[in-house]
Amino acid sequence: MLAGIAVVALVVDIITKVVAVANLHPGDPVRLLGGAVYLSLTRNQGAAFNIGGTGYTAILAAVAVVVIIVIIRFARRLRSWPWAVALGLVLGGAAGNLTDRLFRAPGPLRGGVVDFISVFSPDGHPWPIFNAADSCLVVGVIIAVLLELTGRRIDGTRAGRSADDAKAADEPEPVAAGRAGGAERTDAATTAATAADAGPAAGGRPDPTDAGTGAETPGETSRDAGSDGGDRAASGGPATGRTDRSS
């Protein structure tokens, strides 16, 4: 994204300067928007917005080269699209004015930058005459300052947080995940125990504890039968369970 924005800014700057040089004449401004904007062609050997006067072209060209190199180095760890916009505008603007200083008359590192936009006045007062590259530089710097003030860094993180911290914040904590898994296993065990307790009651199976309190064992049943037979023999009735040997 940074390279694309820089290329667009550079192309727009070059095209508008070519059109201005071909259609405007120094000292003959064109009035637009009721005098809010004037197109007034001038050559600038100073800094942006025609600041600094002559004699600094080589120094300003060297500064532009340094700015371009620094931005290219920053691009390696660029992960934020707002920063890509800001640095792309600065890169394109610096390259646009550097192109004029290198290739326009009177010669390399002495060329005058083409300025042609004036606001509220045809002679650059109160606002200096500027070009598209200057506008890109100013907008890019303003965006960069706002990003710094809000703590947003070029690697996509915010102030006080590293890239690893930001990545870790998006991932679930292992401890929390382990606790959640343990809770699920505990719930499953509780459910299984409840089902096991409810099984005997649902199937009609006797409870061993109930057998000791209400049900009679086979031994107890035999003793009761023998006692009943003895009682009948004593009373003269037939004794149940006794064999008549005489027969």
Whether the Cβ atoms of residue 90 and residue 75 lie closer than 8 Å to each other: no
- Catalytic residue from among 13, 134, 187, 197: 134
Angle subtended at Cα 119 by Cα 96 and Cα 29, rounded to the nearest 5 degrees:
85
Alpha helices, DSSP H, located in 150-217: 163-170, 174-203, 208-211
Q: Is the peptide bond before 82 cis (omega within 30 degrees of 0)?
A: no
The token duo for 39 is 């197109």
DSSP secondary structure letter of residue 216: P
Q: What is the largest distance, in Å, between two alpha-carbon atoms of the chain?
A: 161
Is 28 an active-site residue?
A: no
For helices 81-103 and 2-23, give the axis angle rounded to 10 degrees: 40
**Catalytic: 134?**
yes
Say if residues 24 and 40 touch (Cβ distance below 8 Å): yes
Catalytic: which of 115, 155, 170, 187? 115
The pairing of beta strand 113-119 with beta strand 37-44: antiparallel
Catalytic residues: 115, 134
